[in-house]
């Protein structure tokens, strides 16, 4: 069967295509919808604004990575690496998106919020005991550090290579998150089982 694209995917592809020839902040909603044969009303049924669309584009890709991690098919280090590769593989688009970091609906805040929701949901499945509030605080604190580091890495034109940044982000993990996020390193799977 031929895979069908959703309205959101078509709008995202339209924005991405337009961004190859113009800065993101110069692209209008009207241009996005005209480029893919839709109406502004259709756009606004799915997104608040252009920043909401940009955040959805990243979150759409990133959610698959989180799902792989949660299901145990990827470890946390690989998940971090893959998240950065999404940005690195579309460098100019995400660099432009991360420059606009103001406001509640900014790309930066929207992607940070969604990552936090996904990681909090995953961590909450563990038996957190009496440390629950502290561990949940650590999740948001750690993700804020990751988000700010990634923004700096991207906006300042990669002062570190991807592997080095992943190593830094991995080492910065709060102690109470290590038993949860480093499950493979702390409890290695037996080969062949």
- Residue 36 and residue 18 in contact, taking contact as beta carbons nearer than 8 Å: no
In the chain, how many domains are there?
Answer: 2
- The CATH number that applies at residue 26 is 1.10.10
**Which candidate, 23, 175, 28, 126, places its Cα nearest to that of 11?**
28
Do 128 and 64 belong together in one domain?
yes
Do 41 and 62 belong together in one domain?
no
**Which candidate, 36, 143, 157, 148, places its Cα nearest to that of 96?**
157
Q: Give 58 or 31, the one with higher predicted confidence.
A: 31
- Its pTM stands at 0.81
pLDDT in tens, 66-116: 889 988 888 999 999 999 999 888 888 888 888 765 666 678 888 888 888
The pLDDT value given to residue 146: 93
Overall average pLDDT of the 5-17 stretch: 96
pLDDT in tens, 122-165: 888 887 777 888 999 999 999 999 998 988 888 887 667 889 99
The pLDDT value given to residue 25: 86
Tokens standing for residue 56: 């959805």
Q: Give 22 or 190, the one with higher predicted confidence.
A: 22
Do 115 and 182 belong together in one domain?
yes
Do 144 and 117 belong together in one domain?
yes
Residue range(s) defining the domain that contains residue 166 = 50-186
Do 91 and 172 belong together in one domain?
yes
Do 74 and 23 belong together in one domain?
no
**If you search the block for the tokens 């337009």, which residue do you land on?**
18
CA distance 191 to 26: 53
3-state helix, strand, coil split of the chain in percent (to 5) is 75, 0, 25
CA distance 193 to 3: 35
Give, to the nearest 10 degrees, the angle between helix 132-155 and helix 76-89.
Answer: 30
99 within a domain of the structure (yes/no): yes
- Residue 109 and residue 58 in contact, taking contact as beta carbons nearer than 8 Å: no
Do 31 and 13 belong together in one domain?
yes
Helices (H), strands (E): how many in the chain? 11, 0
Do 110 and 43 belong together in one domain?
no
191 within a domain of the structure (yes/no): no
Do 26 and 104 belong together in one domain?
no
- Residue 15 and residue 53 in contact, taking contact as beta carbons nearer than 8 Å: yes
């Amino acid at each position: 069967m031929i895979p069908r694209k959703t309205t959101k995917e078509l709008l995202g592809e339209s924005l991405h295509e337009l961004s190859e020839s113009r800065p993101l902040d110069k692209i209008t909603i009207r241009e996005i919808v005209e480029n893919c044969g839709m109406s502004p009303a259709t756009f606004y049924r799915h997104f608040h604004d252009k920043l909401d669309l940009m955040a959805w584009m990243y979150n759409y890709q990133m959610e698959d990575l989180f799902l792989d991690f949660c299901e145990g098919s990827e470890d946390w280090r690989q998940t971090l690496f893959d998240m950065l590769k999404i940005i690195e593989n579309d460098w100019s688009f995400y660099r432009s998106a991360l420059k606009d970091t103001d406001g509640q609906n900014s790309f930066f805040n929207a992607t940070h919020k969604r990552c936090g929701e996904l990681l909090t949901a995953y961590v909450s499945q563990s038996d957190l005991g009496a440390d629950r509030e502290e561990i949940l605080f650590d999740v948001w604190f750690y993700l804020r550090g990751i988000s700010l580091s990634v923004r700096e890495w991207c906006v300042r034109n990669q002062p570190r290579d991807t592997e080095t940044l992943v190593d830094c982000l991995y080492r910065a993990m709060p102690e109470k998150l290590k038993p949860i996020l480093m499950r493979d390193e702390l409890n290695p799977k037996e080969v062949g089982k």
